[in-house]
């Protein structure tokens, strides 16, 4: 069952474990114990410098108003993807540059690339893991990272231009406020179901909590993406701006959230019909039966 509300550690892992267990194969003798440290495809060698401490991120910028700006920037690809290496580096960046810095009052996540925010998980990382049950610790590490992010207790803002898909949208949904551009290239979605999977980074809990169970299920079980106007209307994003204004507005919003002059996003109010379907036993019975049929059809029985 897909749950709503703040995702617990057990709820998050139950979805991940179901996916990993369903694809588990006999463990290869050469498979590393920690898939996040598995050999990657050839990439540009990286040596940290004062001007570039991290490979997959630009150096964290802290504004005079105490806003930390974290910019995704994979030098090896045209788009940013959530690879094992990026997630490992994200933990180091957060712990070393942000978590214990009391001058930081809020955080903005954005991309240094014009091509988009984050285009999803790195599918090649997943393909290289022969025993899929070994993905469970990787997902658990990601959960712990996002929970640690939230535990700092400062407002988190996602500033989205271009695609925010799969794990990219899931990262944004951990934030307190989402701003996207009105560019035709901006789209948000959870296309994992097209690979027979459901979201593994908390999306099964965070998305319905934002947009309602039915709208969330529609996105997760069809893999359809949504554009800026629809995302704003359904409550997936809080604000739509021109591309050239994105970072400026995101910083101002982060400052306002920290000061209490901007309110955190709230779930969209349900219509009467949606309350009947989602919040009454007869409606839930019909809805979850339909959900089970769609999950079985689109995930190949993985769940």
pLDDT tens column, 10-49: 444 444 444 444 443 333 333 445 544 444 445 678 999 9
Residue 137: Cβ-neighbour burial (10 angstroms; 0-12, 13-18, 19+) = middle
How many Å apart are CA 80 and CA 161, to the nearest integer?
Answer: 12
Query: Which whole-number Å values give the CA distances from 88 to 91, 176, 289, in the listed order?
Result: 5, 23, 39
3-state SS class at 93: helix
pLDDT over 90 at 298, yes or no: no
Q: Say if residues 190 and 219 touch (Cβ distance below 8 Å).
A: yes
pLDDT band at 74 (very low <50, low <70, confident <90, very high): very high
pLDDT tens for 103-116 read: 999 999 999 999 99
Q: What percent of the chain has pLDDT over 90?
A: 60
pLDDT over 80 at 268, yes or no: no
Q: What angle do CA 100, 104, 108 make, to 5 degrees?
A: 115
pLDDT the model gives residue 156:
98
How many Å apart are CA 233 and CA 93, to the nearest integer?
Answer: 34
Q: What's the whole-model pTM score?
A: 0.81
pLDDT over 90 at 296, yes or no: no
């Amino acid at each position: 069952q897909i749950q709503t509300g703040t995702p617990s550690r057990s709820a998050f892992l139950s979805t991940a474990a179901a996916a990993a267990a369903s694809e588990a194969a006999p463990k290869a003798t050469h498979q590393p114990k920690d898939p996040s440290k598995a050999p990657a495809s050839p990439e540009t060698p990286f040596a940290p410098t004062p001007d570039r401490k991290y490979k997959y991120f630009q150096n964290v910028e802290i504004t005079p108003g105490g806003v930390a700006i974290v910019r995704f920037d994979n030098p090896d690809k045209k788009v940013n993807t959530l690879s094992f290496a990026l997630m490992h580096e994200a933990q180091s960046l957060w712990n070393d540059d942000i978590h214990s810095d009391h001058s930081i009052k809020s955080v903005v996540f954005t991309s240094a690339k014009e091509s988009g925010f984050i285009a999803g998980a790195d599918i090649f990382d997943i393909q290289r893991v022969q025993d899929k049950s070994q993905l469970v610790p990787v997902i658990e590490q990601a959960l712990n990272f996002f929970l640690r992010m939230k535990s700092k207790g400062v407002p988190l803002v996602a500033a989205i231009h271009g695609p925010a898909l799969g794990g990219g949208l899931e990262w944004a949904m951990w934030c307190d406020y989402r701003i996207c551009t009105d560019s035709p290239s901006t789209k948000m979605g959870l296309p994992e179901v097209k690979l027979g999977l459901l979201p593994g980074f908390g999306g099964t809990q965070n998305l319905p909590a934002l947009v309602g169970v039915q709208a969330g299920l529609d996105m997760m079980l069809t893999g359809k993406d949504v554009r800026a106007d629809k995302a704003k209307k359904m409550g997936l994003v809080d604000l739509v701006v021109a591309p050239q204004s994105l970072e400026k507005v995101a910083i101002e919003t982060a400052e306002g959230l920290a000061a209490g002059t901007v309110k955190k996003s709230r779930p969209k109010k349900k219509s009467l019909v949606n309350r009947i379907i989602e919040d009454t036993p007869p409606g839930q019975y019909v809805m979850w039966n339909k959900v089970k049929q769609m999950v079985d059809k689109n995930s190949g029985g993985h769940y």
